[in-house]
């Protein structure tokens, strides 16, 4: 795949800050039933079918122990042990509420922020400014089946984050998540006559790299730091792309070396959230032990096609091994795969993302690649949880796959750049594949 299309997997956007709460107050592990069956049956096969060069030897094989015992129900999900939301006041929550099992319901109250209340929304995510004509996508909120999510409370959140730091490690989807997070922290309240803005606290950017892909923000009053660490492959990679994300050459991936942009900073953070996936669909040359062992989607005849499954699995294993064995014990979240929503073709063959309402449950099940990647993620997470039970590492799954799967309307589509109305019909849009970051929507910690 060319760099352009895959360059900016935009984040999903759920509405309001509901999901942010998930990150901080809930441990909800769930995985779709079908995938669970898949992984039970195929785990070992998948692993052993990777070429020997990946040298993949899961530290703990067999059934996950400690922490993840699977409780089978006749819902469409397997439910894993979870924590309840800890909010005793306005919202009566059943003790065990699976936050990721639910539906999108209409929410006339509208978005928690807009491009007027938040100037942290950047142009590629400001789809209203870029001419998107429909607005229905702003009026949905996530409703877990078994409970009501309290609205996001920026004051409470900031209090909880006093003297703390968060690292977001992954690709540009996290950039969008952080934009949403910051927008949610700049709380706005509708007054009787005027729009009154109450700023909880605006952060200051204290670091950025040359390309502004890795950045750090600091909320001085709360001594709270948010770091975005751009490491789309999680492992060491040389990327050959110009500023617009056009690949001049395949990415070169070192599958046995972790990206030191994040490992070197790991000890500084109290919370770490990471994700991967999207960039593994690109063209890449794969190195192990300083030797090229193959490639994915490359145009070099002499190289073995290695697919994406084994490289991705290996990268996740490397990350977990590092995190689980580290003496530093932050609270670690893995955020699951973000499905794309192209229809009428793929990104390279005229596909479009032009829906204006969410899917209802069961209406759309995702593409084979979604299931494949998600299966790998769940398998590797569960293995890591087993290892973690021996080292005291704290791992949680932020499983936003399903709720983002249901939001084909969430992608900015062509409105990542300004499109005058008259041109809309004439353009054959190339769009990024992922649920996007339209202003007004936010999904924290997920895609
Ligand atoms: C789930 O199981 C319960 C009892 O085991 C049954 O009454 C109910 O109809 C089942 N629901 C579905 C959707 O199968
Ligand atoms: C916000 O969106 C509106 C369209 O809904 C647009 O006219 C305006 O320019 C945008 N404002 C900013 C600051 O992006
Ligand atoms: C800010 O928080 C860090 C811990 O993350 C702490 O070491 C430091 O003393 C705090 N600074 C202030 C000014 O409170
Ligand atoms: C890595 O390559 C070196 C030679 O370049 C070799 O000596 C070593 O055995 C290799 N290590 C592995 C694990 O294959
Ligand atoms: C989306 O695009 C397809 C193919 O161009 C078209 O058939 C469909 O009507 C469009 N849907 C919307 C909601 O615009």
User: Closest Cα to atom 12, ligand 2: which residue?
Assistant: 115
Which residues lie below 8 Å from residue 286, measured CB to CB, with a gap of 6+?
253, 255, 292, 293, 294, 295, 296, 306, 311
pLDDT value at position 392? 94
How much is the average pLDDT of 282-286? 92
Lowest mean pLDDT among 35-39, 113-117, 159-163: 35-39
435 domain-assigned: no
439 domain-assigned: no
pLDDT value at position 55? 66
pLDDT value at position 196? 55
Residue numbers of the domain that contains 265: 3-424
Please name which ligand lies nearest the alpha carbon of 75. Answer: 1
pLDDT value at position 243? 62
Lowest mean pLDDT among 138-152, 178-192, 339-353, 370-384: 178-192
In testing the pocket of ligand 3, which one of 165, 223, 269, 331 has its CB within 8 Å of the most ligand atoms?
223
Lowest mean pLDDT among 46-55, 357-366, 394-403: 46-55
Rounded to the nearest 5°, which phi and psi values hold at 332? -110, 130
How much is the average pLDDT of 433-445? 31
Q: How far is the CA of 8 from the centre of ligand 5 (A)?
A: 23
User: Closest Cα to atom 8, ligand 2: which residue?
Assistant: 129
Instruction: For residue range 230-243, list pLDDT tens digits in order.
Output: 999 999 999 987 66
How much is the average pLDDT of 166-183? 92
d(CA 65, CA 87): 29
CB neighbours of residue 290 within 10 Å? 8
Q: What is the 3-state secondary structure (H, E, C) of the chain?
A: CCHHHHHCCCCCCCECCHHHHHHHHCCEEEEEHHHHHHHHHHHHHHHHCCCHHHCCCCCCCCCCCCCCCCECCCCCEEEEEECCCCCCCCCCCCCCCCCCCEEEEECCCCCCCCCCCCCCCCHHHCCCCCCCCCCHHHCEEEEECCCCCCCCCHHHHHHHCCCCEEEEEECHHHHHHHHHHHHHHCCEEECCCCEEECCCCCCEEEEECCCCCCEEEEEHHHCEEEEEEECCCCEEEECCECCCCCECCCEEEEEEEECHHHHCCHHHCCEEEECCCHHHHCCEEEEECCEEEEEECCCCCCCCECCCHHHHHHHHHHHHHHHHHCCCCCEEEEECCCCECCECCCCCCCCECCCCCCCCCCCCCCCHHHHHHHHHHHHHHHHHHHHHHHHCCEEEEECCHHHHHCCHHHCCCCCCCCCCHHHHCCCCCCCCCECCCCCCECCCCCC
* Residue 50 vs residue 33, higher pLDDT: 50
Maximum pairwise Cα distance, the chain: 69
pLDDT at 297 > cutoff 60: yes
User: Closest Cα to atom 9, ligand 5: which residue?
Assistant: 354
402 domain-assigned: yes
409 domain-assigned: yes
Q: In the structure, what pLDDT confidence band is assigned to residue 434 with cuts at 50, 70 and 90?
A: very low
Q: In the structure, what pLDDT confidence band is assigned to residue 60 with cuts at 50, 70 and 90?
A: very low
pLDDT at 164 > cutoff 50: yes
Q: In the structure, what pLDDT confidence band is assigned to residue 211 with cuts at 50, 70 and 90?
A: confident
Lowest mean pLDDT among 7-16, 40-49, 150-159: 7-16
How much is the average pLDDT of 152-162? 88
Atom of ligand 2 nearest to the CA of 121: 14
pLDDT at 185 > cutoff 70: yes
Atom of ligand 3 nearest to the CA of 223: 1
Please name which ligand lies nearest the alpha carbon of 33. Answer: 1
pLDDT at 440 > cutoff 50: no
pLDDT value at position 67? 29
104 domain-assigned: yes
445 domain-assigned: no
Please name which ligand lies nearest the alpha carbon of 344. Answer: 5
Q: In the structure, what pLDDT confidence band is assigned to residue 390 with cuts at 50, 70 and 90?
A: very high
Number of domains, the chain: 1
Lowest mean pLDDT among 167-176, 247-256, 417-426: 417-426
Rounded to the nearest 5°, which phi and psi values hold at 160? -65, -25
In testing the pocket of ligand 5, which one of 341, 345, 354, 430 has its CB within 8 Å of the most ligand atoms?
354
pLDDT value at position 230? 96
87 domain-assigned: yes
98 domain-assigned: yes
In testing the pocket of ligand 2, which one of 127, 128, 183, 195 has its CB within 8 Å of the most ligand atoms?
128
Percent of residues, the chain, with pLDDT higher than 70: 69
Instruction: For residue range 63-95, list pLDDT tens digits in order.
Output: 333 322 233 332 333 333 333 334 444 344 445
Instruction: For residue range 305-356, list pLDDT tens digits in order.
Output: 999 999 999 999 999 999 999 999 999 999 999 988 888 877 667 778 889 9
Looking at every residue in the chain, the average pLDDT score rounds to: 74
pLDDT at 443 > cutoff 60: no
pLDDT value at position 442? 35
Rounded to the nearest 5°, which phi and psi values hold at 266? -55, -40
């Amino acid at each position: 795949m060319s760099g352009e299309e895959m360059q900016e997997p935009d984040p999903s956007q759920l509405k309001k800050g509901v999901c942010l709460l998930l990150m901080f107050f809930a441990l909800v592990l769930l995985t779709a039933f079908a995938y669970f069956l898949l992984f039970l049956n195929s785990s070992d096969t998948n692993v052993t079918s990777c070429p020997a060069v990946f040298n993949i030897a899961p530290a703990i094989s067999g059934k996950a122990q400690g922490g993840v015992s699977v409780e089978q129900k006749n819902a469409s999900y397997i439910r894993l042990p979870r924590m309840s939301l800890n909010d005793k006041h306005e919202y009566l929550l059943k003790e065990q509420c699976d936050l990721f099992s639910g539906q999108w319901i209409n929410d006339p109250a509208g978005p928690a922020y807009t491009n007027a209340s938040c100037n942290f929304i950047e142009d590629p995510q400001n789809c209203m400014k870029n001419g998107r004509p429909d607005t229905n996508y702003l009026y949905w909120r996530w409703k877990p089946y078994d409970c009501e999510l309290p609205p996001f409370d920026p004051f409470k959140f900031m209090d909880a984050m006093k003297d703390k730091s968060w690292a977001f490690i992954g690709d540009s989807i996290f950039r969008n998540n952080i934009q949403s997070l910051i927008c949610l922290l700049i709380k706005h309240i509708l007054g009787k006559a005027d729009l009154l803005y109450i700023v909880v606290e605006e952060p200051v950017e204290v670091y950025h790299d040359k390309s502004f892909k890795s950045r750090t923000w600091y909320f001085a009053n709360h001594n709270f730091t948010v770091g975005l660490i751009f490491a789309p492959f999680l492992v060491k990679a040389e990327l050959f792309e110009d500023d617009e994300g056009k690949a001049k050459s395949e990415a070169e991936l070192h599958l046995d070396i972790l990206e030191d942009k994040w490992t070197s900073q790991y000890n500084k953070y109290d919370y770490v959230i990471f994700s991967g996936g999207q960039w593994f669909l690109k063209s890449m040359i794969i190195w192990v032990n300083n030797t090229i062992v193959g490639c994915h989607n490359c145009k070099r005849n002499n190289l073995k096609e290695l697919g994406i499954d084994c490289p991705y699995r290996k990268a996740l294993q490397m990350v977990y091994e590092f995190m689980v064995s580290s003496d530093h014990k932050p609270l670690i979240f893995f955020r699951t795969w973000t499905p794309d929503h192209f229809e009428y073709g793929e990104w390279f063959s005229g596909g479009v993302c032009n829906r204006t309402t969410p899917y209802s449950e069961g209406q759309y099940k995702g593409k084979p690649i979604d299931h494949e990647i998600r299966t790998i993620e769940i398998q590797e997470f569960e293995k890591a949880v087993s290892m973690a039970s021996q080292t005291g590492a704290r791992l949680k799954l932020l499983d936003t796959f399903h709720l983002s799967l249901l939001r084909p309307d969430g992608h900015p589509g062509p409105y990542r750049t300004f499109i005058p109305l008259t041109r809309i019909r004439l353009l054959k849009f190339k769009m990024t594949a992922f649920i996007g970051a339209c202003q007004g929507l936010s999904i924290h910690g997920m895609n």
